[in-house]
Amino acid sequence: MKQLKDKVAVITGGGSGLGREFALCCARRGMALVLADVDEQGLAETVQQVEASAPGVQAITRRVDVSRLEEVQGLAEFAKSRFGSVHLLFNNAGVGVSGPVWEYTAADWQWVLGVNLLGVAWGIKAFVPIMIAQGEGHVVNTASAAGWMSSAGSAIYSASKSAVVSISETLVLDLKDADANIGVTCLSPAFFATAIANSARNRPAELAETAPDSPLRRKREEMLRYAVEHGRLSAAEIAEMTLQAVEENRFYVFPHRKIKSLIQARAEAAQEEKQAFDPMSAG
């Protein structure tokens, strides 16, 4: 989708981090914005920044829990009723927990998979039919380097992001089957400064954390926080790379170039069929 001016972008997770930077990038290109998040204060702050950086751009918000199909469908109806169409969808909302696989609770699995996996599935289900009917559109799914390789303490997050990669690749093939003029981009960044390490702030009460406060869990949480805080790329840089990929209709986006060499090393480990690949040891 080369021309984005005067188009409509819908962004989940728009209340902070990468979602906020997507909003700012789209606003600078003259797009109208529909921002969704469970964090209403964060949404208001994003709108303030959009208005300051791109006066005149329309930006509306809606509280949405992307794990709930009916709320994502409501978002699609809200966007279409306000602007008449939706051209660019960012399935971006994401959360995470850390710890060894055997310590995760049922609530951990339900929360993370609900947001990271079902949020993408419901976004596609609600918005792609609109795009097909109007004859154009583009979907950006935020995956992760964790979708291509696994590290200790990241089982649920990696599982969810691996699924996003698979869904994204399959979506391209399904759209080709349907002869639909819809682009897809799968974004797979590594660590960068964002609020993912503090995502529990928006965790619903009915899925509250009850896992034991174990040394392994604390170790992995501390390592994640350090990695996020010391990321070499900013969310703004990653957002701009992603928008450029949309304009060039590119599917794979790996902002951190080293990730592709690690993916290759993982493939080589699979060829050897001996040891599970450890990206931290290969790093």
- Residue 9 pLDDT > 70, yes or no? yes
Task: Report if residue 264 sits inside a domain.
Answer: no
Match 């703004």 to its residue by tokens: 236
Whole-number average pLDDT of the chain: 93
Residue 1 lies in a domain: no
For the chain, the domain total comes to 1
Token readout for 53 is 């950086």
* Residue 66 placed within a domain: yes
230 has pLDDT over 60: yes
Tokens of 229: 């805080």
Angle, CA of 171, 139 and 265, to the nearest 5°: 65
From CA 216, how far away is CA 105, in angstroms rounded?
Answer: 15
Structural tokens at position 136: 């154009």
* Phi/psi-derived region of residue 90, left when phi > 0, alpha when psi is between -120 and 50, beta in every other case: beta
CA-based angle 9:123:244, to the nearest 5? 40
Alpha helices in 84-118 (DSSP H): 106-113
pTM, two decimals, is 0.92
The reply to whether 266 falls in a domain is no
Residue 275 maps to a domain: no
Domain assignment present for residue 238? The answer is yes
pLDDT band at 250 (very low <50, low <70, confident <90, very high): very high
Q: Is residue 19 part of a domain?
A: yes
Q: Does the residue 49 lie in any domain? A: yes
Bridge partners of residue 142, in order along the sequence: 187
Residue pair 162/112 in contact (Cβ under 8 Å)? The answer is no
Catalytic hit among 104, 157, 226, 252: 157
**Using one digit for the tens of pLDDT, what is the confidence trace for 120-155?**
999 999 999 999 999 999 999 999 999 999 999 999
Q: For 163-184, how does the pLDDT look when each residue is reduced to its tens digit (9 = 90+)?
A: 999 999 999 999 999 999 999 9
Q: Token pair of 188, please?
A: 């797979």
Q: Are 108 and 156 in contact, with CB atoms under 8 Å apart?
A: yes
| Domain of residue 139, residue span | 8-257
- In the structure, what pLDDT confidence band is assigned to residue 108 with cuts at 50, 70 and 90? very high
157 is catalytic: yes
CATH at residue 206: 3.40.50.720
